[in-house]
């Protein structure tokens, strides 16, 4: 069952907060008007474990898995992570800029991190997402749209849409129709 969320001072309550240093001030914190959905699994295709949190907090060890040797020095984050079981973790307050989209462009405007919120779903391009993830994503999206009125259904996209050719997430198994139908029913 999805949790009821409220946003207070840029924090999603009652999500668990894990501070990421990979953030900075937005050019204009009043201009949050895009939601970017991502996927992440570490190691790729494996779920659970501490590695996503370690990556977003600069604590990933290259000795833990061969794949980590190529990414452990990355300085990345997202505002939220929704685990496969529906647990929600916040890494960056919404009022701050998380480093999630990288080189990106939405409707002709570059630097999407400046004006977007990034939500990571624990997953990969080859695996369907869970019912718990969709439920939580819908409830979180509703809370975001209530708090940030410039956000709307037509300003929600995937990482693949703002960085085409460079990124593929949330991938072919993300059911956009299911997500948007659930948003409209609430």
Query: Cα–Cα distance between 4 and 147 in angstroms, integer?
Result: 14
The pLDDT value recorded for residue 3 is 75
Which residues lie closer than 8 Å to 84 by C-beta, 6 or more apart?
Answer: 47, 48, 122, 123, 129, 130, 132, 133
Considering the entire predicted model, what is its pTM? 0.97
Percent of the chain with pLDDT over 70: 98
The per-residue pLDDT for range 87-134, each reduced to its tens digit, is 999 999 999 999 999 999 999 999 999 999 999 999 999 999 999 999
Please tell me the predicted confidence (pLDDT) of residue 29.
85
Looking at residue 107, its pLDDT comes to: 97
Residue 84 confidence (pLDDT): 98
Please determine, for residue 182, whether its predicted confidence score (pLDDT) is greater than 70: yes
Phi, psi of 157 (to 5 degrees): -150, 175
Q: In whole angstroms, give the CA distance from residue 170 to residue 176.
A: 10
- pLDDT of 185 reads 82
120 catalytic? Reply is: yes
- Of these residues, 13, 29, 53, 120, which one is catalytic? 120
Range 6-22+30-185 has CATH code 1.10.10.10: no
């Amino acid at each position: 069952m999805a949790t009821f969320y409220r946003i207070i001072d840029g924090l999603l309550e009652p999500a668990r907060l894990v501070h990421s240093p990979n953030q900075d001030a937005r050019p204009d914190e009043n201009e949050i008007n895009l939601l970017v959905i991502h996927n992440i699994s570490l190691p790729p295709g494996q779920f659970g474990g501490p590695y996503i949190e370690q990556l977003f907090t600069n604590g990933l060890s290259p000795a833990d898995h061969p794949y980590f040797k190529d990414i452990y020095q990355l300085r990345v984050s997202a505002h939220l992570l929704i685990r496969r079981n529906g647990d929600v973790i916040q890494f960056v307050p919404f009022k701050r800029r998380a480093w999630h989209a990288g080189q990106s462009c939405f409707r002709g405007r570059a630097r999407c991190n400046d004006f977007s919120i990034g939500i990571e779903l624990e997953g990969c391009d080859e695996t369907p997402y869970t019912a718990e993830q969709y439920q939580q994503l819908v409830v979180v999206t509703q809370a975001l749209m209530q708090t940030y009125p410039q956000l709307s259904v037509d300003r929600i996209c995937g990482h693949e849409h703002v960085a085409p050719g460079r990124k593929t997430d949330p991938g072919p198994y993300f059911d956009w129709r299911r997500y948007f139908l659930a948003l409209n029913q609430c």
